Structure 1
């Protein structure tokens, strides 16, 4: 009896996880296309191929599902940036870290950020969801902003501040960080796709963007910090 139970339990959990994942992916598309207010639980259930009670069972309510979608995006962001995070933190904390190493990590952060905002499953829906969250001031907006600050802005600010030997609350360091990250954020905009005449960037285009951003970043710091070598 116990053997049967042990074998069945993982299958039940897997089905539940698959259903939950299917609902999350469907909800991302619907919330992006219709907005939070415009999306109905019936639409969400139909897109996911589940009955209405399934949404309540897994997420409690439409708001709970929306927050779970936001949380899932945050988790994906954290997982994407995780390989660099400890190296960046250690380099910022170590006063003996050389400028060239700080600059290399900054370039790697920018390259990773490019992949995050241009590639991956449902990237168009994620972009649209971000835009709607800004316009509609939805419940998930603060969570998205906090994630962006923690995973992208603060690490880059720390590296730039170390390069200039300035505190992180120096307004110029904040402005420099925003200007640098703004180069990447431009590729999130729908207007960029129109200019490029393609809805998606292929791998070759992403690599080109990464190379150009590295060149731009190096040029900025060579100009302002002549002692820093290119990396």
Structure 2
């Protein structure tokens, strides 16, 4: 006896939903396993077989979702990049006052710290790429970091009434100083966990620190506003 048509369509829809869900989960498991292995061993010495076993899937899934090991590495590396076009757009909104702009900027850079162990592994992956470059770090600078840095310069220039074309070095120094407050948190996470673990013990602690960074950065901007022009 055949099922009514509406049940057949429902079963088909459910099967499609399960397939999409399973596919998303498989892809995420591969990314998660690859991040840990690439961070610990580097790109060259990590095999697709190791990744597939760690992810609980088969090697063919790597080809299906990422093309090859290099494609998986690119996806893993870029999944940790905070400087997405959407995030940059959030802090460069011309309607934002200075404090709100700085808050959005630090939320972009430091939001991933709330991912716990994944954040630590992601930072180790970045360190590994810098020590054993495959070319992705340069691509990240060219297509992610550079865009965010130049956007921060323009935004700080707008708040200070300075022209990036005429005051580029002055604004660049300020932009590096503002970003450096956050970068220290990122690269020193494991040291902080040993010396002052309470400062980053949970999301609330991280938010408190980000709030203080906004205070520090606002003071830097105000100091720059009052400072004489440097060569």
Q: Which residue of the partner structure matches residue 28 of structure 1?
A: 35
Q: Of 116, 132, 138, which residue of structure 1 is paired with 2:128? A: 132
Question: Contact (CA 8 Å) 1:59, 1:65: kept in 2 or not?
Answer: yes
Task: Give, in angstroms, the shift of residue 49 of structure 1.
Answer: 0.7
Q: Of 49, 59, 70, which residue of structure 1 is paired with 2:66? A: 59
The unaligned stretches of length 5 or more in structure 2 are 227-231
Q: Of 136, 144, 149, which residue of structure 2 is paired with 1:147? A: 144
Q: Of 99, 104, 114, which residue of structure 2 is paired with 1:119? A: 114
Question: Contact (CA 8 Å) 1:109, 1:156: kept in 2 or not?
Answer: no
Mean CA deviation greater in 179-188 or 50-59:
50-59
Q: Of 47, 50, 70, which residue of structure 1 is paired with 2:54? A: 47
Task: Tell me how large the CA RMSD over aligned residues is.
Answer: 2.7
Post-superposition CA distance 1:90-116 (Å, at most 9, x none): 34xxxxxxxxx5412332134414532
The unaligned stretches of length 5 or more in structure 1 are 92-100, 227-231
The two structures have a TM-score, normalised by structure 1, of 0.79
Q: Which residue of the partner structure matches residue 216 of structure 2?
A: 216
Question: Contact (CA 8 Å) 1:80, 1:116: kept in 2 or not?
Answer: no
Length, aligned pairs only: 213
Quick one: distance in 1 between partners of 2:222 and 2:157? 15
Task: Give, in angstroms, the shift of residue 200 of structure 1.
Answer: 5.3
CA shift in 2, pair 1:41/1:198, >3 Å: farther
Question: Contact (CA 8 Å) 1:186, 1:192: kept in 2 or not?
Answer: no
- Tell me the secondary structure at the aligned position of residue 162 of structure 2: coil
Q: Which residue of the partner structure matches residue 14 of structure 2?
A: 7
Q: Of 155, 163, 172, which residue of structure 2 is paired with 1:174? A: 172
Task: Give, in angstroms, the shift of residue 23 of structure 1.
Answer: 0.7
How does 1:64-83 map onto structure 2 within 5 Å?
64-74=71-81, 78=84, 81=87
Larger RCO, structure (CA 8 Å, separation 6 or more): 1
Task: Give, in angstroms, the shift of residue 163 of structure 1.
Answer: 2.5
